[in-house]
Amino acid sequence: MAKIILSKISTQPPKNADKKATIKKTEELAEKIGLMSEMMYAEKKNSLLVVLQGMDASGKDGVAKSVFMNCPALCIDAYAFKKPTEMEFAHDFLWRIHDKVPAKGQIKLFIRSHYEDILVQRVHQWIDDQKAVARLEAINHFEKLLLEDNDTTILKFYLHISHERQMEKLEERKTNPALQWKYKATDFDESKLWDKYMRYYEAAINGSDLKWHIVPSDMRWYRNYFVANIVHDTLNNLKPAFPLLLDAGKD
């Protein structure tokens, strides 16, 4: 597998992409995802874990809302991982993660994830390179366990936004009343560490046994479509179906 170098991957939609048609297609895919999520919930054979990672303002919440808007509440859940609590710090770094993975029949969204512990902590040098490598190995084993022991399909998305676009969106949080609740001055401090984050994101992505999908995210309409298309195809390949009653009259 070719090594991922994020700076060589475009954050923009393809030049021939039609915005209006793409938005319509995303809505159609979201409807199908909603129906298949209900089928999967009824079957309770498989589960789907969707990991949404990216820099601040890359659109993790936007993807969650747009792609999964038609999933019944019983079929889907989301969890946003933040700084570990004192109790969580007292355990191994995956202790808090395992409790949040999806049960059979469920779609679970991780808004940030177990990868925070080899990204943020590495950027700020709270762990050294040796510890980060060991943790990545543990993550690979953890994901293999979910796949093989509980039939959990894992989709990992890195929302690939440019530094310039990120700054525009962070500034928008200052002036847009609907976004001001998201504003944190520390986000600008983290943005100054962009090059370090890119280096360690590449290390996490290239060291992962399961594929990462690199999502061009400067334009939200294409970002949402990109994710929706992969989620739809993944669910479709699982072939979920509503269970049928057995014929009661048969011997």
Percent of the chain past pLDDT 90, that is, above it, reads 96
Q: Which CATH code is given to the segment(s) 27-238? A: 3.40.50.300
What mean pLDDT do residues 173-179 have?
93
Distance of alpha carbon 68 from alpha carbon 231, whole angstroms: 9
pTM, to two decimals? 0.95
What integer pLDDT is reported at residue 181 of this predicted model?
A: 93
**Token pair listed for 93:** 């770094």
**Token pair listed for 10:** 């475009």
What are 41-98's pLDDT values in tens digits? Answer: 999 999 999 999 999 999 999 999 999 999 999 999 999 999 999 999 999 999 999 9
What are 181-218's pLDDT values in tens digits? Answer: 999 999 999 999 999 999 999 999 999 999 999 999 99
Lowest mean pLDDT among 1-10, 14-23, 108-117: 1-10
Query: Alpha carbon of 86 to those of 91, 93, 115, 126, 149: distances in Å?
Result: 9, 12, 19, 15, 30
Beta strands in 4-132 (DSSP E): 47-54, 76-80, 107-111
For tokens 């504003």, what's the residue?
A: 183
For the chain, give every domain's residue range: 27-238
Half-sphere exposure of 11 (CA within 13 A, CB side): 19
What are 7-27's pLDDT values in tens digits? Answer: 999 999 999 999 999 999 999
Beta strands in 120-250 (DSSP E): 152-160, 212-216
In the sheet that holds 152-160, the strands lie side by side as 76-80, 107-111, 47-54, 152-160, 212-216
| Confidence bin at 250 (pLDDT 50/70/90) | low
